[in-house]
A and B are shown apart, each in its own frame.
Chain A
Amino acid sequence: MTERDVADPPERLPAHDPHGRQRDSPGLVRRLSVIAEAVFSVGDLGPPPERLDWLRRELDDFLSRAGGQTRLVLSLAVWAVWLLAPLSCGRFRSLASLPIRERAYALSHLEDRFGAPVLAVKALLCVHYYEHPDVAREIGFDGQCLVPLRAPGAPP
């Protein structure tokens, strides 16, 4: 087992963002982050922590601007994935407590059998994650109109 193989306890976002605004969905962002770590993992390794931090900030901003109905639908999808993924492959533990490789296996298992909530969660994660300039570069995407060259986190 490597150091990264054992999942860190899911990070809790502070209740307020750096501008003092109350966060709407800290728990939802935390769960999404745990799922993201597995979706974008290779073997035992999740994505670099800096990218996950960036993703969490993006998701937090996105959810604060999405309507209540949207947040409700996403919360339901995340809950479904969170609860069903470990069960779908016979693991009676919470998703967060599974090592990354097992988490990815559980999500993959669920995706094959009950695709809709996994697709919803994956879509939300991918739309943001692949906008990170380093990730875009890694997959050979150089459409600068779609991912403008701007430091991550810098305002448009």
Chain B
Amino acid sequence: MSEVLSASALSAREALDADVVVVGSGAGGAVVAAELAEAGQRVIVVEEGAHVAPERYAHMRPSENMRHMWRDAGLTFALGLGDTPMINVMMGQCVGGSSVLTGGVCFRIPGSVMREWSTQHGLQGLREEAMTPYFEEVERAIHVEEVPAEMRSRGSALFVAGAQKLGYPVHPVRRNTRGCNGCGRCNFGCPHGAKLSVDVTYLPRALAAGARVFSDLRVDRVLRKGDRVAGVSGRALTGSARTPGSRLTIRARRVVVAAGAFASPLLLMRNGIGVRSGQVGRNLTVHPGFRVMARFDEPVRGWQGALQSVYLDAFEAERITMVGLFVPPGVLAATMPGIGRAHVARARTIPNLAIFGGMIHDDGGGRIIDLFGRPLMTYRMSPRDRAAVPVLMRRMAEIYFAAGAREVFLPVLGLGGIDADDLARIDLTRIKGRDLECGSQHPLGTCRMGVNAANSVVDPWGQAWDLRDLYVADGSILPSSLGVNPQQSIMSMALRIAWHLREQPLPG
């Protein structure tokens, strides 16, 4: 994608004009850009992050990847309120967005969630039969396929064996890959071009259809003309410190905001859009995630095989989904207790460690706040979600012990490896939220869609209730959490909005 230009190379006097400007180049924005450009509209995509080409990120170590391609170098936190842990919410900030940095797991929106949206939120257009064409088209465009059993890592295979021993069925995940060799680093950018993230699928399509893509541009203003949107303006970011430089303005007849559930509500609230509803930045859901590690006597070498290959939904009634994963050795080492000799000794057991993740289909309770110009993310777990955490940890530990694990490391600060007897003794419900180690890659819901301007930010087609021709098309519009990895859901919702926009004449 050599056509991506850095906004820092543009002159402030340059007049930029388009039919549609798309703010954000991730799973939502890239889909909208490609579809509208292919429909003949003049499209400009602007992205706050840098453009890191696949041939460059292929050679980056994980920490390099974090500092070049993740928001806040991967260290964005949601402040836990009440008995809620601090949550590390990781989000992409690069051309292609988080899509470049996922494990590639693709789920359709679960039927139960779509039923909730149509019955409780009145969103009849989001019924399963209405959404199917969008799911199918996205699956075709990014080549969603099932991970074959032979590509499972030994860590995942052990988890599967333990789960089956306890009678829990485990299913293969589907991912957007073609020709994956299972080298286990999808979430730091696929080094082989096998993961079909939007930077190698939808964005090249958009460029081929004439769209222009500018990286390093932080949009902070939405321009208006009467009750309509008229474009956006922002500052070009320069240097490794990403210092704001010259201001650029893009005139457009339509604006599609697709900056993700963290940045989209900030842009809206700073421009007074949707604020009357009181919903902008609220209803944040994150799928609080907890990883459990297990040490086996045999070498596991969990980095060999697909990063994510299986999932377990046997605890859906308890709002828990478990999905396989692997993390770099440094992260594994960091989460094990010990300093000095004890730490070094534990680090040498990394080849014998297996790891699996569990996430909670959360009720929400998070919020993005603009605090004197600085963003602040907070999250308060509902009592139901909080009660699911000890259940999740116990079930995962039991599965590993059934698979023959020698000891298990729960995501609890200060708690070392425990054996099966310890697990039976420990009352996990008494562990305080502040002592839990929690992460998330799925922030959603902060500009939610609805049928009523009083309790939602955008209408059923993604248009802001109070500014015509401004649309939102990313994870922020989802009315509630999904309980599964959201990449394909975001793309399908964005596609639905894009096909709708394709049919709407551009404003004069």
Indicate with 1 or 0, residue by residue over A137-148, a CB within 8 angstroms of chain B CB atoms: 011110111111
Contacts of B56 in A (CB 8 A): 156
Contacts of A62 in B (CB 8 A): 63, 66-67, 73
Contacts of A123 in B (CB 8 A): 331, 334-335
Asked if B350 and A140 make an inter-chain contact with CB atoms under 8 angstroms apart, the answer reads yes
Interface residue ranges of B208-254 to A (CB < 8 Å): 240-242
Instruction: Choose from A69, A70, A146 the contact partner of B303 (Cβ within 8 Å).
Output: A146
Complexed CA–CA distance, A67 and B64 (Å): 15
Asked if A41 and B61 make an inter-chain contact with CB atoms under 8 angstroms apart, the answer reads no
Interface residue ranges of B303-344 to A (CB < 8 Å): 303-304, 328-331, 333-335, 337-344
**A5 contacts the other chain (Cβ, under 8 Å)?**
no
Complexed CA–CA distance, A65 and B338 (Å): 29
Contacts of B417 in A (CB 8 A): none
Interface residue ranges of A60-118 to B (CB < 8 Å): 61-62, 64-67, 69-70, 73-74, 100-101, 104-105, 107-108, 111-113, 115-116, 118
**B451 contacts the other chain (Cβ, under 8 Å)?**
no
Complexed CA–CA distance, A2 and B383 (Å): 55
**B500 contacts the other chain (Cβ, under 8 Å)?**
no
- A58-B63, A70-B75 known; A139+B340 contact, CB < 8 A: no
CB distance from A42 to the nearest CB of B (A): 5
Contacts of B241 in A (CB 8 A): 24, 64-65
Complexed CA–CA distance, A138 and B339 (Å): 17
Interface residue ranges of A34-65 to B (CB < 8 Å): 38-43, 58, 61-62, 64-65
Asked if B334 and A122 make an inter-chain contact with CB atoms under 8 angstroms apart, the answer reads yes
Tally of chain B residues near chain A (CB < 8 A): 53
- Which of A58, A146, A156: most chain B CB closer than 10 A? A146
Asked if B73 and A145 make an inter-chain contact with CB atoms under 8 angstroms apart, the answer reads no
Binds A, one of B106-114, B183-191, B393-401: B183-191
**B168 contacts the other chain (Cβ, under 8 Å)?**
no
**B59 contacts the other chain (Cβ, under 8 Å)?**
yes
Interface residue ranges of B433-468 to A (CB < 8 Å): 434-435, 437
CB distance from B90 to the nearest CB of A (A): 12
Q: Tell me if A's interface is mostly helix, strand, loop or mixed.
A: helix
CB distance from B266 to the nearest CB of A (A): 13
Residue of A nearest to B347 (CB): A139
Residue of B nearest to A118 (CB): B339
Instruction: Choose from A38, A67, A119 the contact partner of B413 (Cβ within 8 Å).
Output: A119
Instruction: Choose from B59, B185, B188 the contact partner of A150 (Cβ within 8 Å).
Output: B59
Indicate with 1 or 0, residue by residue over B63-90, a CB within 8 angstroms of chain A CB atoms: 1101110011101110000000010000
CB distance from A143 to the nearest CB of B (A): 4
Complexed CA–CA distance, A94 and B351 (Å): 36
Contacts of B304 in A (CB 8 A): 143
Interface residue ranges of A121-156 to B (CB < 8 Å): 122-123, 125-131, 136, 138-141, 143-148, 150, 156
**B348 contacts the other chain (Cβ, under 8 Å)?**
yes
- A111-B414, A127-B331, A145-B183 known; A140+B351 contact, CB < 8 A: yes
Asked if B61 and A147 make an inter-chain contact with CB atoms under 8 angstroms apart, the answer reads yes
**B62 contacts the other chain (Cβ, under 8 Å)?**
yes
Instruction: Choose from B59, B183, B413 the contact partner of A115 (Cβ within 8 Å).
Output: B413
CB distance from B178 to the nearest CB of A (A): 17
Asked if B414 and A61 make an inter-chain contact with CB atoms under 8 angstroms apart, the answer reads no
Residue of B nearest to A47 (CB): B344
**A12 contacts the other chain (Cβ, under 8 Å)?**
no
CB distance from B220 to the nearest CB of A (A): 15
- Which of B191, B241, B331: most chain A CB closer than 10 A? B241
The contact sample of 23 A-B pairs, CB cut-off 8 A, is A38-B340, A43-B340, A62-B66, A66-B75, A107-B339, A108-B338, A108-B340, A108-B342, A111-B339, A111-B414, A116-B434, A123-B334, A126-B330, A131-B328, A139-B351, A140-B350, A143-B304, A143-B329, A145-B183, A145-B184, A145-B185, A148-B59, A156-B64
Which 9 interchain pairs have the tightest Cβ spacing? A104-B340, A115-B413, A143-B303, A130-B330, A145-B183, A126-B334, A66-B73, A123-B334, A127-B330
Which residue numbers of A lie inside 8 Å of B, CB to CB? 21, 24, 38-43, 58, 61-62, 64-67, 69-70, 73-74, 100-101, 104-105, 107-108, 111-113, 115-116, 118-119, 122-123, 125-131, 136, 138-141, 143-148, 150, 156
Having A67-B71, A123-B335, A125-B334, one finds 15 other A-B pairs with CB under 8 Å, namely A41-B341, A67-B72, A108-B339, A111-B338, A122-B339, A126-B330, A127-B62, A127-B66, A128-B330, A130-B328, A130-B347, A141-B350, A146-B188, A146-B303, A146-B329
Which residue numbers of B lie inside 8 Å of A, CB to CB? 56-57, 59-64, 66-68, 71-73, 75-77, 86, 183-185, 188, 191, 240-242, 303-304, 328-331, 333-335, 337-344, 347-348, 350-351, 374, 413-414, 434-435, 437
